[in-house]
Amino acid sequence: MIIRRLLNCWFRKMRTGFYVSAVCLSAGAYFIGAMVRSESGPVAPFLTQAGFAGFLLTALFFFIHLNLHACHWFLDHFRDTDHLPTRQISHVNSFCMTLFLCLCLGAMPAAAWSLEPLWQSLYRWFADFGHPGQIPFPEPDTGTGFSQSPDLSRLLGEPRPTPAWIVIADRIFRVMGYILILLFVVLVCYRLCRQFWTWITRPRFFDSDEKIYLTPTWSLGSDKKKAGPKPAGWFSRSYSEKIRRRYRREILTLSRKKKLTLPPSASPSQLEETAGLNHKVLHRLYEKARYGPEECTRQEWEEIRGPGPR
Amino acid sequence: MKLFSAAACAFLLWILQDVLFHRFWARGLCVSLDFNCRGVTEGERGILRETITNAKALPLPVLHVKFHMGKHLVFTASGNSRITDHNYRSDIFSCMPWQKIRRTLEFDCRRRGYYTIDQVQLVSYDLFFSSRYVASLPARAAFYVYPGAADPGRLTLPFRSLTGQILAQKALIPDPFETRSVRPYETCDPYRSVNWKATARTGELKVNVYAPTSSRQVMLLLDVDSDRIWKDQDLTEEAIRLCGSYCGLLTGEGIPVSVSTNGIDCITGSRGYLEAGAGRGHWQSVMELLARISSDDNDRLPMEEIIEEMFSSSQSSAAGDGSGLVYVLISPKQRPSLALAYNGLCRLSPGSQWILPLRPGQDFPSEGFCPQQYHHMSVFPWEVPYDYSQTS
Amino acid sequence: MTNTLIQSIKENISRVIVGRPDTVDLLLTALLADGHVLLEDVPGTGKTMTAKALARSLDLEFSRIQFTPDLLPSDVTGLNYFDQKESRFVFRRGPVFTHILLADEINRATPRTQSSLLEAMEERQVTIDGDTCVLEPPFFVIATQNPVETAGTYPLPEAQLDRFLMEISMGYPDKPEELAILDRFGCGDPLKELGPVCRIGDLMDLRQKALRIYVHPLLKDYMVDLVQATRKDNRILNGASPRGTLSLYRAVRAHALIQGRDYVVPEDIKTLAVPVLAHRLTTARTFGLQSSAREIMSQLLSAVPLPTEDWRQGV
C-alpha cells in the first residue's frame, strides 16, 4: 500500500530532471570508458558497458514514466465517469507497454551494434578528409583480452585432403541440422505465442461489460471482403485478372487526373461515366472477368491490350 | 556512438508507435449503438447497447465513444452525461486486439417522442496520450417512446357511447357480399342474387339474403394546436395519450380506426395521418405515429381547415354521404369556429364525439362556446389536473 | 439463338408500342422470371395495347377483366352453374384461365374479389367448390391501378402487393413518340397485323435458361445487403421480406438473359432494385400522398457499397 502510494506520487509529475540526470550520468560513464585505453584493465570496458546499460534502462523507465504519468492524468480527469473500465484500461495498457518495451529492449542494442560499423566508416572518412592518416579511430573493445590459442597444426603434420563425399555429406547434414533447429525454434515460438495468447484472452471479469475475443484474421481493411481480392500482379497468367488490373488502372488514372472520388456504391457503368472512360469492349470484358463464371481468353485480352479510347 | 544510435532508435520507436496508431487505429473498428426494442411507453425504462469491435491486431488503450440523443431519455447512471438541449454522453472503452466489448446502459423515458442517434464520434490516443485521433461514424439507431395510457375508468363512458352507436347502425346497411340466408325468388329480384346451388337442389329459383354490415369506421381527429398565449405542453400530451388509449380500445374491439392530426410527423415533415385499420399491428402503427408528433413545431394548420378539407372530400367520395364513418375529435380548444366546422362534418355521422381536455377551474363551456347548440356531436369534458411533481 | 429470339420479340412488340424499351424489357423480365406485374398508371397510356402485343408476339391467350366494386370472386375464377337441359352442374371457366391476364383497375374491386385473383397468381391454381383446376403455364398477370382516383377504391394491402414481382409505370410519351403514335395508329390498328414470333415451348425454354444464369457470390451478397438496408432505414416502417430478395434474385437473372448474357452484372441489380423492391416497402404515410418509397430505394442504391475493385490504394 505504501509502495503504491509512493509510486503514484512519483508518477504524478513528469520528473524530467531525474531522467536528464540519469542520462547524463550514463553518457558520462560511457564516454569516460571509451576515452580510457583498454591497457588500464577491465575498468574501461566496464564503464562503457555500464554506461550503455544505464542509458538503456533510463530510456525504458522514461517510457514507463511517460505512459503512467499520462494514465494518471487521464484517470484523474475522468474519475467521475460512470462505467469507467479502470482495470481493463490497466490490462490493455500493460499489454501494450510490455510489447513496446520488449521491442525497445531488442531494437535499441541491435541498432547500436549494427550501426557501429557505419559510424566507424563515417568517422574515418571525416578523419581522412581533415587529417589524413593521423588520428586513428579508437578500436572497439574486443573482449577481455584472451591470448590467441596456440597453433597445433605443426605437431600433426600436413593435413590430408578430405574425401569429397565426406564434404558433401557434411554440408547436407549441416543444412539439415540448421533446418531442424530452425523448425524446432519456430515450433517452440508458435507454441509459446499460442499459450501466451490463450493466457491473455482468458475470461476476465473486470467490470460489467461483456467481452469476447474474435478469431484473428490477418486483414486490416474492413471492406476487403466487399471489394474482393485484388487483381494479381503482372506475373499472373490469368487473363481475367489482367483485364481487371487494366480496368482498375484506367479508372484510377482518369479519376486522379480529374481529382474525382469514386463512390463505393457505383456500378462499373457509373464509374466509367464518372471517370469519363468510353471503352465498350473493356467494359464488357471487365464485367465478364469480374462477375462471369468463366475465365477470359487470350483473344479477349489481346482485344484490349493496346491503349484504348478515353 | 552506440549511445547515439540507441537514443535515435528510441526516438524512432516512439515515432513509430505514433504513426502506427495514426494509420491503423480506426481500421477494423466497428461501433454500433442499438436499442433492445423498438420502443417503450413513457415512464418505462429502455436499454441502449454499445458494441465496440476491434477486429485488428492493434489494441486501443483508450477509446471515447461520444454521441447525443433526446434530453428526455435520462441514463440511470449519468456521470458521463451532460443534459442541455440534448443528452450528451461520452463513454470510455479499452480494447485488446481482436476483442469485442458490449456495454448495456439503462435509461428512463420521461417523455413521449421519437429519438434517434445519428452520429457517433470516436476519440482515441496513442500509447503515451501525446496524439489525439478523432473520427465520426454514422449511427442509425431509433427509439420510440409511446404516449402513456389515459385513465381507463374515465374513458369507458365515451367509449361505450361510441360502440353503442356503432351497434345501432349495424342493421341499417346491408352488405352485398355477406350472405345471411336464402329465400324464394320474388319478382324484380336481381339475377345476380340468384343462388344457383339452392335452386338446383330444390327445383325452384332461390335468391340470397345479404347480412348487414358492421364495417363502421372511426376517425380520430387529434388537435395538438393551442390557442393560449403560453403553450400548455401537459394538456397537449394528455390529448395525445387520450388518442392512443382510445385507439387501443377501438382496435381491441375490431373496429377500424384512422387517425388524422395537425401535429407534424418528425420523419416526413408533414402532418400525421394513418389510414383505417384494426388489430394490434395497427394500434402499434398509431402509437408510433403519435410518438413521432413533434411538440415544438409552431407551423401547424388549424384544425378547422383540416375538418373542412375532410368535409369536402367526404362530399365528393363515391358514397357521397360520408356514411360509415364516426368522428372523434380530441381538442382542448373551445372555439366556436371549430365547433361549427366539426358539427357540419358530423351531420352525416351520428354518434360523433368531442373529447375536450381542460384544466381544473377552467371555464366550461367558455364564452361563445355552447355545446348544446351542436346536435350532431356529444361533448365530453376531460379534466387534466396539474402535475407539480415533474420538472420540465 | 436466345438473343435472336428475344430481339425478335422486342422488335415485334415495338411495331405496336412506340418507344419505352425499358418498359418492354421489364415486362419480358417479369414474364421470364415467372412473376406478375403491377402497372400504376393513368388511363390511356397503352397498358392494354402492350399486354395484347405481348400476348400476340408470344402466341399466348389473352384475357382482360375490368374490376368494378360489384365484381364477385366467381366472375374472376369461374363458377359451377346448373344446366337444366343436361340436369347437371357445369363448370364455366372464368377469365383467369388464360395465359396473359390484364386485370384493369384492380383497386376498384373489393378485397374479397382481389384476394381471389391474388390466390390464383400465387398458387397458379383455382379452387371452386372443392375442385382444384391448375392454370396452364405460363400464367402472367398484369394488374393496373389508377393512381389518380382514390375515392371508392380499395388499395391493395401490403401483404398482397408483395405478391407482385415488380411495380412499373409507363408514363406519358414524349413529343416524338406521341407524333409516331399518331402516324402509326392514325390509319389503322397495327395490332391486328401482329403475328407471333415465338411459341409457348420457346418461352418455357427461355424460363429454364433464366434459372441457369450465373450470379457471382459477391453480387448475391450485394443483393442481400440492399434488402437488409431497407429493413434498417428509419424512414421505412417495414422493409422488404425474404420474398422480395427471392424476387430480386429471379428478376436479375431473367434480365441478364434478356440482355444477352449468361451472368448477372451490377447494372441488372441497379435497374431492377427499384421496380422490384420499392412497392414492398411500408413507409410513414402522409395525408393524401404516398411517401416516396421509390426515392428512398434510389437513395439506398447510392448508399450501399457495390463490390467492384479496391479503389483505395495506388495503381
Chains that touch C (3 or more CB pairs under 8 A): A, B
Residues B259 and B300 in one domain: yes
**Domain of residue B49, CATH code:** 2.60.40.10
Question: How far B251 CA sits from the closest chain A CA (Å)?
Answer: 41
Q: How far is C-alpha C49 from the chain's CA centre?
A: 15
The CATH superfamily of C212-307 is: Magnesium chelatase subunit I, C-Terminal domain (1.10.8.80)
H helix runs in C166-216, sequence order:
175-186, 200-211
pLDDT for B392: 46
| CA-wise closest residue to B263 among B232, B230, B239, B229 | B239
Q: Look at chain B and report how many structural domains it folds into.
A: 3
Q: Which residues of B touch C80 (CB under 8 A)?
A: 196-197
Split at pLDDT 50, 70, 90, the class of B242 is: very high
Comparing B370 with A85, the larger pLDDT belongs to: A85
The H helix count followed by the E strand count for chain A is 11, 1
Residues B252 and B220 in one domain: yes
Residue range(s) defining the domain that contains residue B225? 152-170+214-383
pLDDT score of A109 more than 80: yes
Instruction: Note whether C143 and C122 are within 8 A (CB).
Output: no
Residues B132 and B166 in one domain: no
pLDDT score of B85 more than 80: no
Mean pLDDT of A251-273: 87
Residues B370 and B223 in one domain: yes
Which one of B222, B259, B273 makes the best mutation probe of the C interface by having the most chain C beta carbons within 10 Å? B273
In a domain, B15, yes or no: no
Residues 200-259 of C with CB under 8 A from B: 232-235, 237
| CA-wise closest residue to B237 among B361, B113, B84, B353 | B113
Residues B179 and B292 in one domain: no
| pLDDT tens digits for range C272-304 | 999 999 989 887 654 434 447 888 899 899 989
Q: Which residues of C touch A288 (CB under 8 A)?
A: 263
Q: Do B265 and C284 touch (CB under 8 A)?
A: yes
Q: Do B62 and A52 touch (CB under 8 A)?
A: no
Judge if pTM exceeds 0.80.
no
Does A222 touch chain B if contact means CB atoms closer than 8 Å?
yes
Residues B294 and B203 in one domain: no
| CA-wise closest residue to C158 among C277, C276, C282, C242 | C282
| pLDDT tens digits for range C185-239 | 877 777 888 888 888 888 899 999 999 999 999 999 999 999 999 998 877 878 8
Mean pLDDT of A119-132: 75
Mean pLDDT of B115-136: 91
Does C74 touch chain B if contact means CB atoms closer than 8 Å?
no
Question: How far B196 CA sits from the closest chain C CA (Å)?
Answer: 6
Question: Where along chain A do its domains lie?
Answer: 2-77+87-130, 162-200, 236-303
Does B285 touch chain C if contact means CB atoms closer than 8 Å?
yes
pLDDT score of B322 more than 50: no
Comparing A123 with C63, the larger pLDDT belongs to: C63
Residue B365 preceded by cis peptide, ω within 30: yes
Look at the block and give the residue holding cell 381547415: B305
For B270, the closest chain C residue by CA position comes to C286
Q: Which of A227, A267, A291 sits opposite C270 (nearest CB)?
A: A267
pLDDT for B203: 83
Q: Do C308 and A267 touch (CB under 8 A)?
A: yes
Residues B186 and B283 in one domain: no
Write out the three cell numbers for B113. 417522442
Query: What is the C-alpha to C-alpha distance for residues A248 and A232, in angstroms, rounded to an integer?
Result: 12
Does B271 touch chain C if contact means CB atoms closer than 8 Å?
yes
**Domain of residue B301, CATH code:** 3.40.50
Residues B265 and B130 in one domain: no
CA quadruple A39, A41, A42, A48: dihedral positive or negative?
negative
Cβ density class B318-327: b for 16+ within 10 Å, e for less:
eeeebbbbbb
| pLDDT tens digits for range A52-68 | 889 999 999 999 999 99
Q: Which of C221, C265, C309 sits opposite A248 (nearest CB)?
A: C309
Question: How far A212 CA sits from the closest chain C CA (Å)?
Answer: 25
Query: What is the C-alpha to C-alpha distance for residues B60 and B127, in angstroms, rounded to an integer?
Result: 8
For C86, the closest chain B residue by CA position comes to B200
Residue ranges of chain C that CATH labels 3.40.50.300: 1-211
Q: Which of C110, C234, C286 sits opposite B116 (nearest CB)?
A: C234
Split at pLDDT 50, 70, 90, the class of B350 is: confident
Helix A280-291 to helix A239-257 angle (10° resolution) is 130
The per-residue DSSP string of B200-254 comes to: HHHSS-EEEEEEEP---EEEEEE-----SSS--HHHHHHHHHHHHHHHHHHHHTT
Interface size B-C, in CB pairs within 8 Å, comes to: 54
Length of chain A: 310
Does B196 touch chain C if contact means CB atoms closer than 8 Å?
yes
Residues B341 and B230 in one domain: yes
Mean pLDDT of C90-119: 84
**Gyration radius of chain C's alpha carbons:** 21
Interface size A-B, in CB pairs within 8 Å, comes to: 150
Residues B207 and B314 in one domain: no
pLDDT for B298: 65
Q: Which of C219, C264, C308 sits opposite A268 (nearest CB)?
A: C308
Options 3.40.50.300, 3.40.50.720, 3.30.9.10, 3.30.230.70; CATH for C1-211 is 3.40.50.300
Question: How far C22 CA sits from the closest chain A CA (Å)?
Answer: 17
Q: ipTM of this model?
A: 0.83
Q: Which of C219, C266, C315 sits opposite A252 (nearest CB)?
A: C315
Q: Do A66 and B104 touch (CB under 8 A)?
A: no
Residue ranges of chain C that CATH labels 1.10.8.80: 212-307
| pLDDT tens digits for range A166-175 | 899 999 999 9
Tell how strand B352-358 and strand B325-330 pair up: parallel
In a domain, B392, yes or no: no
Residues 38-67 of B with CB under 8 A from A: 53, 55-57, 59-62
Mean pLDDT of A235-251: 84
Question: Could you give the 3-state DSSP secondary structure of residue B287?
Answer: helix
pLDDT for C219: 94
Split at pLDDT 50, 70, 90, the class of B320 is: very low
Q: Do A103 and B103 touch (CB under 8 A)?
A: no
Cα atoms in the Cβ-side hemisphere of radius 13 Å centred on B201? 9
Question: How far C284 CA sits from the closest chain B CA (Å)?
Answer: 7
CA quadruple B137, B140, B143, B144: dihedral positive or negative?
positive
Residues B252 and B357 in one domain: yes
Query: What is the C-alpha to C-alpha distance for residues A172 and A119, in angstroms, rounded to an integer?
Result: 39
Q: Which residues of C touch A268 (CB under 8 A)?
A: 265-267, 308
